[in-house]
Amino acid sequence: MKPSGAGNFCVTRYHISEALVDREVDGEQPDAHLAAEEEGRRLEELQKEAERERRKQLEKAHVRGSHALKKIQLAKDRKRLLEELEQMQAQDRMRRRQVVAQMPPQLSVPPYKRMEIKEERQRELESAFEEMYNEDWNMKGDLILRFEPQPLPAPSNRAQDNDL
């Protein structure tokens, strides 16, 4: 059991004293107007920075967009040029075919074949001439002896020749 005199008192480790309350020795408080102005400048700088960042992003987007547009235009131009080139090639092919169709067939014969054809033609002409000469010889004899000399034509005036 408890002793009779000890029940009403409590023991605490902490004593209330004036040392627990801190008092500011300096007494100077920061100026609220200056702090507000500084905070306003900081917010303004943040807004400017955000605006610069947004402009930078817009500029980059614009550059990317113009680059993509140029790329698309170049692709279209390339496609159009290839189509025009195909049309020009087809027209050139048709023109060449027409030129080749109009060319004489002798041009497509190789040179050695042309020489053979020329020699064959020469042999044919020689044999035809020999046959004709031999036939005339047998029929008429010597043709040179049959010609009678003719007198030369009379000299004429130049004026008459010009009139003629």
Query: What residue segments make up the domains of the chain, in order of their start?
Result: 33-102, 109-139
Element spanning 104, H or E: none
Q: For the CA atoms of 72, 77, 83, 84, what is the dihedral angle to 10 degrees?
A: 170
pLDDT of residue 152: 72
pLDDT of residue 20: 54
Q: Distance (Å, rounded) from C-alpha 105 to C-alpha 134? A: 35
Please report, in tens digits, the pLDDT of each residue of the chain (164 residues total): 455 555 566 666 655 555 555 555 556 777 888 888 999 999 999 999 999 999 999 999 999 999 999 999 999 999 999 999 999 999 999 999 999 888 887 777 788 888 999 999 999 999 998 888 887 665 555 555 555 667 777 766 665 556 55
Q: What is the pTM of this model?
A: 0.38
